[in-house]
Structure 1
Amino acid sequence: MVFSPHTPEDRAIMLQTIGVDRIEELFEGIPASYRFPELRLPPPVAEADIFRELLELSLRNWSTVATPTFLGAGSYNHYVPAVVHQVLWRGEFYTAYTPYQPEVSQGTLQSIYEFQSLVCLLTGMDVANASMYDGATALAEGALLCVSPPRGRTAIVVAGTVHPYYRGVLRTYTRGLPVEVREVPIPDSLRTTPQDLERFVDESTACVVVQYPNFYGRIEDLAALAETAHAVGARFVVSTYPIALGLLRPPGELGADVVTGEGQCLGIPQSFGGPGLGLLAARMELVRHLPGRLIGATVDREGKRGFVMVLQTREQHIRREKATSNICTNQGLMALAATVYLSALGKQGLQKIAKLCYHKAHYLAQRIAELPGWSLVGEGPFFNEFVVRCPQDPRAINEFLLQRGIIGGLAVGELVPEQDDLMLLCATELTTKEHIDRLVEALRDLTE
C-alpha cells in the first residue's frame, strides 16, 4: 500500500489557512522546557525478566477466576467457552475492520449479519445494528432516535431504577441538544410502576426509558409501563441484560419499540471494565433512524447468497456535514464473540445459564436474609441481583471481605449517595454453593 504524505506545498496552504507561518508556532502554548522532555527510562533487560516483573504485578490484582465474587452492577462474571477465543484469534477476524468492500469481506459481513439476527431473536425486535460500543451509549442512542423536534417530541423520561452510569451518559449525550431529560425518582420498592411515570409523561414525551432487570435487580412490569408510554404517543425504550432473556419474555413481546443492552455477558471477559458491546434493536419503522451500519443478505447475478452493508443512513462518511452519528467503526470482534457464544450455547444452553443465575441468586438472598441485622430491600421478582440493607457501612464490609479473599457486592452509596446503607449483590452460573456459604460465614463473623 502506497503512503502519500502531504507535500511542502500542501503544508504551506494549510498553515496559511489557519494563520501561522511555521508548524512550530502551533506548540508555543506549551512551555519550551516541557516540549521535549528527557525520558528517563530504565536500562534494557532480558525478556524473561520483564515477563517475571509483569507477572508479579498481575498477581497483585484480585481475579474473579480465583476469587469468589458477588459484584455485578453491569459487568458480570460469566464463563467464556474456549470456542469463543478460538474463533476470535483467527487472523482474518482478529484484524478485520469495517467491511467497505463486500467482495473481499464476506466472512466479516456474514458474522455481523448473524449477530444482528441473533440480537433480534433475543430481544423480539425487527432489526438490529452492530456498531455500538457499550450498554450506556447504546441506551443513549436508542433514546435519541425517538426524539423528533418537528413533532414536538423532545422529552426523554427515564426511570430512576435505570443504572446511574447509564443515566449519566444519557445526560451527557443530550447536553447542548433541544432535549429535556426527566428523571423519575427512585421508588422505595426499587421497582417502577405506571403511577410513578404518570406525572412525568405528556404530549411532549419522545420516549420512556426503563431497564429490565433494573439496576437493583428487580424485574419491571414492561407491559404496564409500555402502555403508559404509548397512551401519550411516546415510544418505549428498554435496556436489558441479555442473559436474563434466556428466562424472561423478550421486551419486543411486551411493547418495547427500542431495545438496548450491554453484551459483555455474551462471551466477553470483564477485562477491568472493557471493551464492552452495545446492543441496539428496534421496530422496522425506526430502521432509517438507527446509527451505525446494518448488514443484509442478498444474492448475486449467479444466484449465490452474499452479504452487503445495506444501510448507513446517519454516518459521517455517508452524510458528511449532515451526519447525526459518529459511530464510524464497529465492535466487530466483540460482536463476533457474542455470536459464537450464543451459537455455542443455543436456546437451551442460554436458558440453563439463566436458570442457574436465578436460583443461585435466590439461594444467596435467602441465606443473607437469615443473618441478624441484614434485610432484603425492594419488592417484586428479581433475577440474579438484589439489594440488602447492611448493619454496617457497606464499604467497610467489602474491605473486611477482601481480607477474607472474597469480592463483595457494590456499595450502592458510591453511585446513589442517599442509599449509603445498601449493597447490591450478584450471583452467576460461576457462583458455587461453597462460595455463598463462605460469604455468609464471613458476614456472620463480622456482625457477631
Structure 2
Amino acid sequence: MNDFPYLPHTQKDIEEMFSFLGIKDIDELYRDIPALFKGELNIPSGLSELEVKERLTDLSQMNKNMEEYGIFRGAGIYNHYIPSVIYPLASNRNFLTAYTPYQAEVSQGTLQILYEYQTQICNLTGMEVSNSSMYDGASALAEAILMAKRINGKNHVLMSKTVHPEYQEVSKTYVEVQGMNIEQIGYLSETGQLDLDELTSKITQETSCVVVSYPNFFGVIEDLKAIREKVPSDVIFIVVTYPISLGLLETPGKFGVDIVVGEGQSLGNTPSFGGPGLGIFASKKKYIRKMPGRIIGETVDQDGKRGFCMILQTREQHIRREKATSNICSNHAFNALLASLYMNVMGKQGIREVSLQNYHKAHYLAKKLVETEKFKPVFDGPFFNEFVLESKIDPDLLNEKLLEQHYFGPLILKNFYEEMGNKVLFCATELTKKRDIDFLCSFLEGLS
C-alpha cells in the first residue's frame, strides 16, 4: 500500500508517475512551495460563543468608517457616491444570483444585465466588444498581455513605468511562465507623460504589445494619439483606464487602441478594503475569439421572443484545455451587476457630471495646496483627479497627523518609486468637500 490511502493509485502507479516526471519523492512536487511550519502554532485556547462575539465586535470597531473621514487618496481605488437605489435593485431576484452563471439555463435576468453591462462598457470605452467582466483591473491587464501573445505570437512587452505598480507586479507573475518579458518605458520629468522617444527606441520585431495608463498612475493624461502613431500596426496597443475619467476624456477607442482594461470599482462598487472589484475588458471585434472570459449575446427563442445566452465561453470547462483563452473560474458577476445598474441610473450625463466634479475639485485642491507653500508641483502635464506634489513636510508625519483628524492623506510615492523622495499623490472626487479642502490647507500651517 502507498502512503496516501485516500488516493486510488497503487504503488506501481505512483512509481510510474515519478519515473515519467523524473522525480523520486512526492515532496519534489512541492519544492516551489515554502516549507510547512514545523512546531506548535501560537493559537489561543477556545472561547465561548459569547466571548467570540464580543471579541469580533471589538475587532470590528477598530475599522475606520470612510463616511466619517475626509479622503484625499485614490491610486486605483476611489471614493465615489453610490446612489441609494443601486443596492435594492441589485438585490432583485431577477438579477441576483448567488453564483457565477455557467450554464445555459441561468436566469434571463442575470444574462440581460450582463449583456447591458457589456454594451455600456463598449459605449464608455469606445471599443467594439466587451466581455462580461473579470476579477479586477490588475488581472485584466495580465490577461490582455497574454491575449496579445495569442494574437501575434510575440513575447516582448513594453509597459509604461506609470502603469499602476501593483498591476505591473501581477502582470510579471502571469507572464513569466509564458516565456514573455516585460520592459519598462520611462516618463518625462517635466510632464509625467510617457517618453515617446524611449518608446520608439525600444520597439523591436519581437514586441508583442505596448501598455500605457490613461490617466496614468500619477494622474497625468497621456496623449494616446501620439502614442498610437509610434506603435506599429502589428503591435497590440493596450490601455489601462479609469472608467469615471471617460465621462470627460475622449474614449480610447477613438485613438485606435486594440484592448482596453481597467478596474471597475468606481462604477457603483464600494472601496471596501480594496475589493472586491471587477475587471473591465474590451477590445476590437476582430480579436473576439482571443478574448478571455465570457460574452453574452442577444437572440430570440423558439417563439420569437427576445432572449439572452452565452455565445462565447472559451474556457477550459467548455473546450479542450489547450484551446482555452483563460482559466478564470469566476468573473465577479455581482460586481458587474452593480456597475451596470450604476451606469443605467447615472446615464451619460450623470457620469459626465461626476467626471467634471472630479476634475474641477482636484484642480481646486492642487491650487490651494500650492498656495500654502508647503507643496510644489512636480509635473506640468494635464491631469484628471489625481496629481503629484513635492511635500516640504515629511509625508509620513503628514499622514499620521491627518489621520488623527479623521482624514486620509495622500499616497506616499516613494513606497512604489524610490526616486520620488517626498513626493505624494493627492486625489479628489465628487465626494471631496470644499470645507475639507479648506481645513486641510489651514491645518498644514501648523506642520513643518
Q: Which residue of 2 aligns with 1:229?
A: 231
Q: How far is 1:398 from its partner? A: 0.7
Q: How far is 1:43 from its partner? A: 1.9
1:168 aligned to 2:173? no
Which amino acid in structure 1 is aligned with residue 161 of structure 2?
G
Q: Which residue of 2 aligns with 1:371?
A: 372
Q: How far is 1:14 from its partner? A: 7.6
Greater shift in the superposed pair: 293-302 or 396-405: 396-405
CA distance in 2, matches of 1:225, 1:372: 35
CA distance in 2, matches of 1:307, 1:182: 42
1:332 aligned to 2:355? no
Q: Which residue of 2 aligns with 1:196?
A: 198
Find 1:98's aligned residue among 83, 88, 100: 100
TM-score normalised by L of structure 1: 0.89
Q: How far is 1:11 from its partner? A: 5.1
1:266 aligned to 2:267? yes
CA offsets 1:314-347 (integer angstroms, 9 cap, x no match): 4344223543411122211000000000100001
Q: How far is 1:55 from its partner? A: 4.4
Q: Which residue of 2 aligns with 1:41?
A: 46
Q: How far is 1:86 from its partner? A: 0.9
| Aligned residues of 2:395 and 2:422 also touching (Cα < 8 A) | yes
Q: How far is 1:443 from its partner? A: 1.6
| Aligned residues of 1:394 and 1:420 also touching (Cα < 8 A) | no
Distance 1:91-1:148 versus aligned 2 partners, 3 A rule: closer
Which amino acid in structure 1 is aligned with residue 114 of structure 2?
I
Q: Which residue of 1 aligns with 2:187?
A: 186
CA distance in 2, matches of 1:310, 1:30: 44
SS of alignment partner, residue 262 of structure 2: strand
Q: Which residue of 2 aligns with 1:78?
A: 80
CA offsets 1:107-166 (integer angstroms, 9 cap, x no match): 1111111111110010000100124111111111112211259x5632111111111111
CA offsets 1:293-316 (integer angstroms, 9 cap, x no match): 111001122111111111122434
CA offsets 1:211-231 (integer angstroms, 9 cap, x no match): 00100000000111011113x
- Aligned positions of 1:133-148 closer than 5 A: 133-148=135-150
CA offsets 1:393-424 (integer angstroms, 9 cap, x no match): 21221112112221101000111122121100
Q: How far is 1:382 from its partner? A: 0.4
SS of alignment partner, residue 145 of structure 1: helix
Distance 1:14-1:80 versus aligned 2 partners, 3 A rule: farther
CA offsets 1:175-201 (integer angstroms, 9 cap, x no match): 122212111123313111422311111
Task: Give the gaps of 5 or more residues in structure 1.
Answer: 1-8, 21-25
Which amino acid in structure 2 is aligned with residue 330 of structure 1?
N
1:66 aligned to 2:68? yes
Q: Which residue of 1 aligns with 2:221?
A: 219
CA offsets 1:15-57 (integer angstroms, 9 cap, x no match): 874469xxxxx99x9799769x9872112318xx93x654443
Which amino acid in structure 1 is aligned with residue 379 of structure 2?
G
Distance 1:302-1:155 versus aligned 2 partners, 3 A rule: same
Which amino acid in structure 2 is aligned with residue 86 of structure 1?
P
CA distance in 1, matches of 2:381, 2:205: 30
CA offsets 1:251-280 (integer angstroms, 9 cap, x no match): 001121100010000011111111011000
| Aligned residues of 2:290 and 2:325 also touching (Cα < 8 A) | no
CA distance in 1, matches of 2:219, 2:340: 25
Distance 1:175-1:299 versus aligned 2 partners, 3 A rule: same
Greater shift in the superposed pair: 260-269 or 100-109: 100-109
CA distance in 1, matches of 2:393, 2:258: 42
Q: Which residue of 2 aligns with 1:123?
A: 125
Q: Which residue of 2 aligns with 1:5?
A: none
Greater shift in the superposed pair: 86-95 or 128-137: 86-95
CA distance in 2, matches of 1:430, 1:213: 20
Aligned length in residues: 429
Q: How far is 1:240 from its partner? A: 0.3
Which amino acid in structure 2 is aligned with residue 435 of structure 1?
D
CA distance in 1, matches of 2:49, 2:373: 58
CA distance in 1, matches of 2:37, 2:433: 57
CA distance in 2, matches of 1:33, 1:400: 42
SS of alignment partner, residue 329 of structure 1: coil
| Aligned residues of 2:402 and 2:408 also touching (Cα < 8 A) | yes
| Aligned residues of 2:95 and 2:113 also touching (Cα < 8 A) | no
How high is the sequence identity, in percent, across the aligned residues? 44
Which amino acid in structure 2 is aligned with residue 243 of structure 1?
I
| Aligned residues of 1:193 and 1:221 also touching (Cα < 8 A) | no
SS of alignment partner, residue 67 of structure 2: coil
| Aligned residues of 2:186 and 2:194 also touching (Cα < 8 A) | no
CA distance in 2, matches of 1:110, 1:344: 16
| Aligned residues of 1:210 and 1:238 also touching (Cα < 8 A) | yes
Q: How far is 1:63 from its partner? A: 2.4
Greater shift in the superposed pair: 218-227 or 79-88: 79-88
Distance 1:399-1:118 versus aligned 2 partners, 3 A rule: same
| Aligned residues of 1:77 and 1:428 also touching (Cα < 8 A) | yes
Which amino acid in structure 2 is aligned with residue 43 of structure 1?
S
CA distance in 1, matches of 2:67, 2:374: 31
Q: Which residue of 2 aligns with 1:4?
A: none
Distance 1:16-1:62 versus aligned 2 partners, 3 A rule: farther
Which amino acid in structure 1 is aligned with residue 380 of structure 2?
E
CA distance in 1, matches of 2:37, 2:294: 44
Q: How far is 1:390 from its partner? A: 0.6
Greater shift in the superposed pair: 181-190 or 94-103: 94-103
Distance 1:65-1:213 versus aligned 2 partners, 3 A rule: same
Q: Which residue of 2 aligns with 1:445?
A: 446
Q: Which residue of 1 aligns with 2:286?
A: 285
